[in-house]
Structure 1
Amino acid sequence: MAVIFRSISGCITSAESVLITQQSHEELYRVLRQNKQVSSSEQKVVVVSVSPQSRASLAAHYGLSSSEVARRLTSFLKNLGVHHVFDTGFSRSFSLLESQREFLERFRRKEVDKKALPMLASACPGWICYAEKTHGEFILPYISTTRSPQQMMGSLVKGYFASQKGVSPQQIYHVTVMPCYDKKLETREVDCVITSGDTYQIDSYELLGHAGSGSGGYLHHIYKHAAKQLFGVEVDELTYKTIKNKDFQEVTLEKDGQVLLRFAAVYGFRNIQNLVQKLKRGKSQYHFVEVMACPSGSLNGGGQLKPSSDQTNKELLQQVEELYHGERTSVPEQDSRVAELYQSWLESVGKEIARPLLHTQYHAVEKNTNGLSIKW
């Protein structure tokens, strides 16, 4: 496990190593077994939230559609004793909407706040871990405060859903299925994170969409929303230009020869380092950057299923991408369920009540000089 993290953030502490080890499908089994041994009033309400990226990985492995995987996985988990199974695509709509709003706020104050832009996406905990430990106070003001879809789902499940069911947040045991091991470090209001590969180990004998990138579509949605709201430009298709390699691409909005918006997608540790160095030298021209620690983004996360013996990594990734993008796309602004929840739970979009529930804070992590506490 440490090798996976070393490529992203250099090392993990022993405390983080324990946190990761405690989160596995075995822990989910333990809670389900315990539920069978106690009275109904003492049972945990077990909720599992599944990411679209994990569904696509399982679909590629089993030769099924993503929607069929969702149906069979839900049935299987409920047979195990899970009470509710949700799709984190729903919470991602909240994350995208809040990110759009945050970007407009930052763009409008960029003249008085030199660290308002570029806004750096915050959905990848591997990137956040690296930023907090390595670049601290310099980089943190640039990072979006909007919670990731996993964190949003934690708020929804332990907040809104708990109140609707008339149970306390402590009575809910919330598990998420994610494409990347790094998500195990992002456990606010999530009790256990298991990967796509962990899920395969559970159900291997039983189990026979938004537009944009496979990393959440942040660049796609924020770019189109900003173009319309700030400059009155309707964007139908985004044209990406490769800068250094396929994992460093940019898209620009130009009018009368002037660049109005310049966005980038930066994946992989080496490209992230180049981005940060540009920022430190004052050479970055970007307004927004979608940052992911995994090369090729979260569809290629370390927790995804591995290729079969007759398949290359590239072939599997292409198959997973096709399945992921083959899902029916959703425009967050047009999702009536999300709009209703904003009204009933948060009173409306942009209200102050939403800030502690849908946003987060970051803290610089001091370098630990005690080598005994580091897991290499």
Structure 2
Amino acid sequence: MAFSGALTLSDLNDFISPSQACIKPVEVAKTSDTQGSIKVDNTGSYYEVSQDGSETKLETATIKSVLVTMQSHEELYSILKQNAIARETNDPSTHRTVVVSISPQTRASFAAKYNQTPLQVARKMTWFFKNLGVHSVFDTSFSRDLSLLETGREFVARYKKAVEKGSIKAPNLDGSASTGPKGDGDMDVDEYTPKAPRKRIIRRGAAGVADEPAVPVEVESAMPMLASTCPGWICYAEKTHGYMLPYISETKSPQQIMGSLVKNHFGSQLGLNPDQIYHVCVMPCYDKKLEASRSDFYSDIYSTRDVDCVITSTEVEKMFGEQGQIGMDAFGELDLDLGYNSVVKDPVTGADQVLVGASGNASGGFLEYVMQYAAKELFGVNGVDVDQAVGVEVKTVRNADFREVTLEVPGSGEVLLKFAAAYGFRNIQNLVRKVKTGKSPYHFVEVMACPSGCINGGGQLKPVGDNYATVPLKDWIMQVDQQYRNGVLARKPEENPVLEQLYMEWLGGIDTPKSREQLRTGYHAVEQNLINPLAVKW
């Protein structure tokens, strides 16, 4: 079992090739006051690099926990066996409705390895799980729409509050003094023509920053707002940098919003209590098991979690072998369940089902969507497309895992919004230093623990035969990234016709107490007295 917290969190030598660079625990035999660094080779082995350059191989840590045992595919087998016994003995009291929710990154991983389209993978995995005894199979692209919408709304609210409190300066749109952000229509959309695509790469050295006290902030106006979908990043902040917590978005991740949907909305439709449903999420990352296990996502009333079990892409592939299947070629296909699957009728081919989802990168597209949403809501600017660098300037800074995206007033150079994406712990550390001292130039940052983001999560499949020499990992990541978008129709979250209905029927509207309960969460600083960060236990 692999989790991110066991790696050193300073001077980290994380480079882009191995996805396990930030998610595999290791044990260190000795403790030293001198901090070295961690190197990961192409086989996924870990080495401690000392000051003199010598390398010591680190052993994989053993995690013994009832909690971890519950977060395994073996537990899913146990529930399915229990259901079979319940049917044989005609005892409905022990029967649980089993729901599996699959991430789009997992679909892409299987599509790349088995030369399938993402839709074929979705249909084949639906067939596989239902043949095991699972009742419903859903797609977390659906809950991602809710997560994106809530994140956009949260950012706009924070931005306005920050301007009101004077913690950030409102942009000057017309050359006169500006007292606050502009609402819809304050900039004439007809007069605003998005800039032609332009991308620029800037190389900068990592400047050292002195250890200064953290700048005090309030959650409602803390800027920059930092994305909250990566549990590795959240654990890192909670355990080592508690002062960062007010900056983190309170919107739940797509996984946990799907947990709220399945256990509460879907359950109520079936007349079931949350504890009568067993919910499994298939994810690209082992750290998602930790996220599902957080006390914030546990119901004391029903003694159940929103997500009972998380299994990774690699664990699902292991299940194939355990069920006598080699690959996916022999699998049948079943239509995707209606309700919480992002599918529509293909407007071109007329096919009954085609995948749809928000555009943006393979980590969920939070930077792209929030920029687009905020540009419209705050300044009346339409036509922004971060993927195509339309209406914004996109720069790669330092390395491929750190990007800046800037929205400016046309012709004046006045910055309206400045966003960034920081992937991998080295980039995260640079970001943390600037945020801590109030020197960050950004309004929003998409933060991911893994280099290359979720598409490169440690639970993802590897090239066929694990032949890294034949398929370099960088090339493999690119293949999976291409499959993430393959055959998926782009649709803005607000164009999802089911969401408005959910807000009204399930949550009682937007920004209601129930919507905050089901779609938002909180974070908790953890006091540490450990000298050696490698000894951190999750």
From the superposition, tell whether residues 2 and 56 of structure 1 become closer, same or farther in structure 2 (CA, over 3 Å). Answer: closer
From the superposition, tell whether residues 66 and 346 of structure 1 become closer, same or farther in structure 2 (CA, over 3 Å). Answer: same
Question: Do structure 1's residue 148 and structure 2's residue 196 form an aligned pair?
Answer: no
Q: 1:351 aligns with which of 508, 512, 519?
A: 512
- Superposition map of 1:290-329 within 5 A: 290-308=446-464, 309=467, 310-326=470-486, 327-329=488-490
CA distance in 1, matches of 2:125, 2:62: 34
The 8 Å contact of residues 47 and 173 in structure 1, kept in 2 or not, is answered as: yes
Which position in structure 1 is the counterpart of 2:67? 19
More deviation in 61-70 or 40-49? 40-49
Q: Which has the larger radius of gyration?
A: 2
Cα offset for 1:41? 4.0
Deviations 1:333-356 (A, max 9, x none): 111011111111012222222001
Deviations 1:246-295 (A, max 9, x none): 10001000112200100001100110000000112222010000000010
The 8 Å contact of residues 69 and 75 in structure 2, kept in 1 or not, is answered as: no
CA distance in 2, matches of 1:198, 1:82: 16
The 8 Å contact of residues 132 and 364 in structure 1, kept in 2 or not, is answered as: yes
From the superposition, tell whether residues 167 and 235 of structure 1 become closer, same or farther in structure 2 (CA, over 3 Å). Answer: same
More deviation in 16-25 or 351-360? 16-25
Q: 2:226 aligns with which of 109, 112, 120?
A: 120
Which position in structure 1 is the counterpart of 2:184? none
From the superposition, tell whether residues 16 and 185 of structure 1 become closer, same or farther in structure 2 (CA, over 3 Å). Answer: farther
- Superposition map of 1:332-343 within 5 A: 332-343=493-504
**Identity score, percent:** 55
More deviation in 112-121 or 73-82? 112-121
TM-score w.r.t. the length of structure 2 is: 0.66
From the superposition, tell whether residues 147 and 15 of structure 1 become closer, same or farther in structure 2 (CA, over 3 Å). Answer: farther
Question: Do structure 1's residue 271 and structure 2's residue 431 form an aligned pair?
Answer: no
TM-score w.r.t. the length of structure 1 is: 0.94
Aligned residue pairs, count:
375
RMSD (Å) for aligned C-alpha atoms: 2.3
From the superposition, tell whether residues 351 and 375 of structure 1 become closer, same or farther in structure 2 (CA, over 3 Å). Answer: closer
Cα offset for 1:237? 2.4
Q: 1:75 aligns with which of 105, 127, 130?
A: 127
CA distance in 2, matches of 1:369, 1:14: 19
CA distance in 2, matches of 1:17, 1:150: 22
Cα offset for 1:325? 1.6
Cα offset for 1:198? 0.5
SS of the residue 2:450 aligns to: coil
Question: Do structure 1's residue 367 and structure 2's residue 419 form an aligned pair?
Answer: no
CA distance in 1, matches of 2:518, 2:510: 12
Which position in structure 2 is the counterpart of 1:165? 270
Which position in structure 1 is the counterpart of 2:401? 247
Paired AA for residue 274 in structure 1: N
From the superposition, tell whether residues 370 and 264 of structure 1 become closer, same or farther in structure 2 (CA, over 3 Å). Answer: closer
The 8 Å contact of residues 215 and 299 in structure 1, kept in 2 or not, is answered as: yes
From the superposition, tell whether residues 212 and 260 of structure 1 become closer, same or farther in structure 2 (CA, over 3 Å). Answer: same
From the superposition, tell whether residues 130 and 332 of structure 1 become closer, same or farther in structure 2 (CA, over 3 Å). Answer: same
Cα offset for 1:40? 3.4
CA distance in 1, matches of 2:419, 2:144: 20
The 8 Å contact of residues 425 and 449 in structure 2, kept in 1 or not, is answered as: yes
More deviation in 124-133 or 113-122? 113-122
Q: 1:285 aligns with which of 417, 420, 441?
A: 441
Which position in structure 1 is the counterpart of 2:309? 192
Question: Do structure 1's residue 214 and structure 2's residue 362 form an aligned pair?
Answer: yes
| Larger helix share, 1 or 2 | 1
Paired AA for residue 263 in structure 1: F
Question: Do structure 1's residue 65 and structure 2's residue 117 form an aligned pair?
Answer: yes
From the superposition, tell whether residues 348 and 3 of structure 1 become closer, same or farther in structure 2 (CA, over 3 Å). Answer: closer
Cα offset for 1:235? 2.9
Deviations 1:170-202 (A, max 9, x none): 011100000001101011311000001011111
CA distance in 2, matches of 1:311, 1:369: 40
The 8 Å contact of residues 96 and 332 in structure 1, kept in 2 or not, is answered as: yes
